[in-house]
Amino acid sequence: MWRTVIVTQREKLTVKDNWLVVWSDKTEQRVPIGDIYSVVVDNRAALISVNAITTLTMAGVHIFFCDSRHTPAALALPMNTHYRPFGVIKRQLALSDEFKALLWQKIVRQKICNQVKCLHLAGVDHKKIEPI
């Protein structure tokens, strides 16, 4: 269990032969249920069958349902496993806004440093790039 499936479009999720099947208008994608750690449904037009929800949670998969602001609004947890991931999420949500802002600042700074390193490796002089 190591994959996270993120549904961001009007897709339909079903289960067939122990595979999660994600249907869109043009494609069908399959993921082995045993490989899935979590599913994030981040589109209110997406559909997921009750069979898919029960099969996924029985396999230990956590299902997050997001609201229109892309914030988790509901969570389907397996009843037969431990609840450590839920505890981690609960502690993360309880962090103060100031601490979250500080963490976000550190993340953004590190991303910028990584971009500078990538530009350097690509032979681009980052000092000559015009700011937006």
Question: So what's the pLDDT on residue 132?
Answer: 62
Per the prediction, the chain carries an average pLDDT of: 89
Sheet harboring 47-48: ordered strands across?
Answer: 28-32, 19-23, 12-16, 47-48
In the chain, what is the straight-line distance between the N-terminal and C-terminal CA atoms, in Å? 41
Topology, domain 3-94: Ribosomal Protein L15; Chain: K; domain 2 (3.100.10)
Q: How is residue 69 written in tokens? A: 């602001």
Q: What pLDDT digit, counting tens, does each position of 62-106 carry?
A: 999 999 999 999 999 887 666 666 777 788 889 999 999 999 999
Is residue 33's pLDDT more than 80?
Answer: yes
What phi and psi values does residue 85 have, to the nearest 5 degrees? Answer: -60, -35
The residue ranges of every structural domain in the chain are: 3-94, 96-132
This prediction has a pTM of 0.60
Model confidence over 106-117: pLDDT tens digits? Answer: 999 999 999 888
Q: Are 19 and 33 in contact (CB under 8 A)?
A: yes
